[in-house]
Structure 1
């Protein structure tokens, strides 16, 4: 636990710092949307590309890890569909609740993994993201749509996602062993190093404590499922599939992360319940400061 706290507290300090900077208007209000756009389209894809280009794709545990990722998502999706049938959630509300359970804060996850395992952990996490990012985005968009079936048109914006494209490009470079231009490794390292601190500051700036009012019972059970039940499910899968320690920890961590701040933007764009989504993002992020060390200690 002390080692985990030493690894985690600087990351949450950046989140708190981002919230205070925005609340005190230390930077211009239009800085934050620009910073998020820079990170989403350039810095973060550079991190994923660089990590995947050097990832060991011959990892013997990779097929089992992939199976655990997809199986965990499908079980959570089945539970959400059952809840929708029982409680009759409209698409706007179901979409927010589904994202609260399925999506994850990638910036925080990679920052924690980098602190715990270094480059080898980041490479493994990038491999997981190549599966998780398209699957979670597809399910999130599907949940927010009013149509009961899956429409092929939902796939087009997902395929243009810069994170997915970066993962595909990095894997292609890795598999083909194509040499990168001289000095590009250093350039990618510099871009990647800027991504996670800026991302965590933006996470803090996006927190909206005022959105917690009025939905506390719903927020509470969704947070319990996301921060405690999902990592427990991941832990069970790691035991069933006999995953090694590092792979198990990375899987459990991603299933224990709070939901992604970008879920709010997607919810608003597709007509979802923005108030509920903002509350889920805020409360899950705040509670994760306590739940992440607890989960990683108990289920390590």
Structure 2
């Protein structure tokens, strides 16, 4: 228990620091959008690229892990479609609720995996992200645009242009080619990657909007409970059914227990969804995750 708390509390300390730094206008308001962009387009892709370029792709558990990811997301998506049909949600609300259930805070996830399992865990998480990121992006766009109709181009274009997906693809190709990361390239990518997670967690805190929590309290509460408790329970059930090894099981459950991604707010606003509801979901889930993530990981490790 103590080891788990020691691994997690610095991550949430950075999130809290990011929140207060932005509220104190330090260094200034213009810093945070730029910090998010450089992390999203350069630093974080460097982490994913270098991790996948050196990943042991012969891990016999990888096919089962990939199946577990798809099963978990597929079951959750079908349940969301059923509830939408019963409740009659418009796309603006369905898109926010869906992203609250399906999307995950990648920065927090990789930082937690790195603290718990080191480079081996980061490599495994990067392999999962190569599958999870495009799947969740497609479902998120579809949920926000279902009433208007959506073309294959509008679904695929964000994936093709996504720097995280491109980094995963590039790292996998380098790995399969066997050329490795010669001439100090590994050191360069390592320096960029080292800056990614701390900056990402600060940006997560800077994006929090507690003022949005006073609106639809029941909707925010049930969505957060499903994301932070029901989704990891689903992931644990799938991992148990597929007999995943211990570390793969913990990493799978951890990613299904993460709060939703701050970038969900940007997508929701761009596609005409309920951005106020989305901001409230992001904020409440991130605040609750400080306790729920430790609880879920403790239960999984004890199982």
What TM-score do you get using the length of structure 1 for normalisation?
A: 0.98
Q: Structure 1 CA distance, aligned partners of 2:104 and 2:98?
A: 11
Counterpart for residue 30 of structure 1: 30
Q: CA RMSD in A?
A: 0.9
Alignment of 1:27-176 (within 5 A): 27-147=27-147, 151-153=151-153, 154-176=155-177
Q: Structure 1 CA distance, aligned partners of 2:144 and 2:10?
A: 35
Counterpart for residue 216 of structure 1: 217
Q: Deviation of residue 213 (structure 1)?
A: 1.0
Runs of 4+ in 1 over 6 A off after TM superposition: none
Instruction: Determine if the alignment matches structure 1 residue 195 to structure 2 residue 196.
Output: yes
Q: Structure 2 CA distance, aligned partners of 1:254 and 1:266?
A: 20
Instruction: Determine if the alignment matches structure 1 residue 236 to structure 2 residue 221.
Output: no
Q: Deviation of residue 148 (structure 1)?
A: 7.2
Q: Structure 2 CA distance, aligned partners of 1:179 and 1:25?
A: 43
Structure 1 unpaired stretches of 5+:
none
Q: How many residues align?
A: 300
- The secondary structure found in structure 2 opposite 1:27 is coil
- The secondary structure found in structure 2 opposite 1:58 is coil
Q: Structure 2 CA distance, aligned partners of 1:215 and 1:176?
A: 51
Decide whether aligned partners of structure 1 residues 231 and 179 sit closer, same or farther in structure 2, where only a CA change above 3 A counts. closer
Structure 2 unpaired stretches of 5+:
none
Deviations 1:20-68 (A, max 9, x none): 0001112210100000000000000000000000111000000000000
1:91 touches 1:146 (CA, 8 Å); kept in 2? Answer: yes
Which is further off, 43-52 or 147-156?
A: 147-156
1:232 touches 1:299 (CA, 8 Å); kept in 2? Answer: no
Q: Deviation of residue 149 (structure 1)?
A: 6.0
Q: Structure 2 CA distance, aligned partners of 1:113 and 1:35?
A: 23
What TM-score do you get using the length of structure 2 for normalisation?
A: 0.97
Q: Structure 2 CA distance, aligned partners of 1:273 and 1:12?
A: 27
2:53 touches 2:180 (CA, 8 Å); kept in 1? Answer: no
